């Protein structure tokens, strides 16, 4: 009789060597979410983000172009900005070198008589940036395949389910700490085997655990569950979870959309950025209901329940009493199935070790 498929060894969650390897092989080579285009809709607006320790600034130029740069001054390496805002030039806080929003070094104080110095040699270093369904992504790999080419048809599929996504505005954002390796968070997110046990309120009041379906295809994990009541007003739960660490969720509350971007801090700590977006034309009462759902139901109930789970899984993975466990894999997209965890772990090994086990 064949044995069940086992989870990958715990060293991938407990050994700092692998987190360093993940920076090179995963975070700095895949498309990483930054913000919504409406977050930097004004000419001159900019947004900074951290990609596994690399700070990147995304800028809406005066010419209307969105560009991304390493957030580092070409003089002696000071960080240009720590936040988001609006400006006409990016000015370094150290010696006030100033960069136009297309990255050109336009002013370098006191360098006119420096022999051989040419400002044209010291523009900001550019990073790839793309808009996908109104969401901005960057990729530190200059040779990366465009996001749309990695997922043919996905843009159309998402916009069919939520045609207003490109013009939605952010109404809530928070950074949720997880006391675990980032992969524990992603794996927990991509199975609903635990929902009837750990998320009793949500599966009793919002959407169905029994009818929860998860499918995996071409680096995308899709989740679906029908809302229990008023489906015509609010829509259903639909999720696209993109390898390696982003989920886009059509929430079953006035067709709003949320994003979870899981990010590593070190080998045993992570965070996820949790952002909610709504159609700006939504009536005030509907907007209030979305906020209540986002802040009370998800932020205070669902998020805390998962925070406890992932923390306790990490502690178990660090125990000498645990090595590998059997995954619950069975045919079909049944709710009690861990096939998306198996996909994630297999995809991870393929990336880190150039090896696939499942
Ligand atoms: S390090 Fe930026 S101006 Fe000197
Ligand atoms: Fe959960």
pLDDT in tens, 334-345: 788 999 999 999
Q: For residue 182, what pLDDT band results from cuts at 50, 70 and 90? A: very high
Q: Average of pLDDT values for 53-73?
A: 98
Q: What is the pLDDT of residues 189-239, one digit of tens each?
A: 999 999 999 999 888 888 888 899 999 999 999 999 999 999 988 999 999
Question: How confident is the model at residue 356, as a pLDDT?
Answer: 54
Q: Does residue 327 carry a pLDDT above 70?
A: yes
Ligand nearest to the CA of 301: 2
117 CA to middle of ligand 2, Å? 56
> 233 φ, ψ to 5°?
-80, -40
93 CA to middle of ligand 1, Å? 7
Average pLDDT, the chain: 95
* DSSP β-ladder status, 66-70 and 213-217: unpaired
- Cβ(260)–Cβ(249) under 8 Å? yes
Return the structure tokens found at 64: 């209307």
Q: For residue 355, what pLDDT band results from cuts at 50, 70 and 90? A: low
The answer, yes or no, to whether any atom of ligand 1 lies below 6 A from the CB of 330, is: no
54 CA to middle of ligand 2, Å? 29
Q: Does residue 44 carry a pLDDT above 80?
A: yes
**CA dist., res. 205 & res. 188, Å (int):** 21
The answer, yes or no, to whether any atom of ligand 1 lies below 6 A from the CB of 92, is: yes
Q: Does residue 188 carry a pLDDT above 70?
A: yes
The answer, yes or no, to whether any atom of ligand 1 lies below 6 A from the CB of 296, is: no
DSSP classification of residue 79: B
> 23 φ, ψ to 5°?
-60, -50
CA-nearest residue for atom 4, ligand 1, is 95
Ligand nearest to the CA of 90: 1
The answer, yes or no, to whether any atom of ligand 1 lies below 6 A from the CB of 79, is: no
**CA dist., res. 20 & res. 108, Å (int):** 35
- Find the helix or strand (DSSP H, E) in which 247 lies: strand 246-250
Q: Does residue 81 carry a pLDDT above 60?
A: yes
Question: How confident is the model at residue 208, as a pLDDT?
Answer: 87
| Ligand 1 atom having least distance to the Cα of 92 | 2
CA 293 → CA 2, 196, 231, 257, 288, distances in Å?
45, 19, 15, 12, 9
CA-nearest residue for atom 1, ligand 1, is 76
Return the structure tokens found at 54: 């690399």
Q: What is the pLDDT of residues 103-133, one digit of tens each?
A: 999 999 999 999 999 999 999 999 999 999 9
**CA dist., res. 203 & res. 228, Å (int):** 9
Q: Does residue 301 carry a pLDDT above 90?
A: no
Residue from 75, 89, 108, 122 to probe ligand 1 pocket by mutation (most atoms less than 8 Å from CB): 75
Ligand nearest to the CA of 304: 2
Lowest average pLDDT, out of 70-79, 141-150, 284-293, goes to 284-293
Question: How confident is the model at residue 331, as a pLDDT?
Answer: 85
| Ligand 1 atom having least distance to the Cα of 80 | 2
Return the structure tokens found at 355: 């090896």
**CA dist., res. 311 & res. 325, Å (int):** 17
Q: What is the pTM of this model?
A: 0.95
**CA dist., res. 90 & res. 105, Å (int):** 9
- Cβ(58)–Cβ(85) under 8 Å? no
């Amino acid at each position: 009789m064949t044995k069940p498929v086992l989870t990958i060894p715990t060293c991938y969650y407990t050994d700092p060597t692998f987190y360093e390897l993940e920076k090179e092989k995963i975070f700095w080579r895949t498309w990483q979410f930054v913000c919504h285009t409406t977050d930097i809709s004004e000419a001159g607006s900019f947004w900074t983000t951290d990609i596994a320790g690399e700070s990147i600034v995304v800028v809406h130029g005066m010419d209307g172009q969105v560009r991304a740069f390493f957030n580092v001054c070409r003089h002696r390496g000071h960080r240009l900005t720590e936040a988001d805002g609006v400006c006409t030039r990016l000015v370094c806080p150290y010696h006030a070198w100033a960069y136009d929003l297309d990255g050109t070094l336009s002013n370098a104080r006191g360098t006119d008589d420096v022999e051989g110095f040419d400002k044209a040699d010291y523009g900001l270093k550019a990073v790839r940036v793309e808009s996908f369904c109104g969401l901005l992504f960057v990729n530190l790999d200059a040779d990366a395949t465009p996001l749309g080419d990695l997922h043919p048809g996905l843009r159309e599929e998402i916009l069919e389910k939520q045609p207003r996504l490109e013009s939605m505005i952010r109404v809530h954002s928070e950074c949720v700490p997880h006391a675990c390796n980032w992969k524990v968070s992603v794996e927990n997110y991509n199975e609903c085997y635990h929902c009837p046990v750990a998320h009793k309120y949500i599966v009793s009041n919002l959407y169905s655990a029994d009818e929860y379906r998860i499918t995996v295809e071409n680096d995308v994990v899709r989740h679906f569950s029908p809302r229990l009541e008023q489906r015509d007003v609010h829509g259903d739960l639909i999720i696209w979870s993109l390898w390696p660490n982003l989920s886009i969720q059509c929430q079953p509350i006035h067709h709003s959309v949320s994003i979870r971007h899981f990010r590593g801090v070190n080998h045993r700590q992570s965070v996820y950025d949790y952002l909610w977006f709504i159609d700006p034309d939504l009536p005030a009462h509907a907007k209030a209901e979305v906020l209540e759902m986002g802040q009370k139901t998800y932020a205070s109930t669902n998020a805390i329940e998962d925070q406890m789970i992932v923390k306790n899984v990490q502690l178990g993975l660090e125990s000498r009493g645990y090595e590998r466990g059997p995954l619950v894999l069975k045919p079909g997209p049944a709710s009690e199935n861990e096939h998306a965890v198996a996909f994630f772990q297999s995809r991870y090994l393929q990336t880190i070790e150039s090896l696939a086990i499942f």
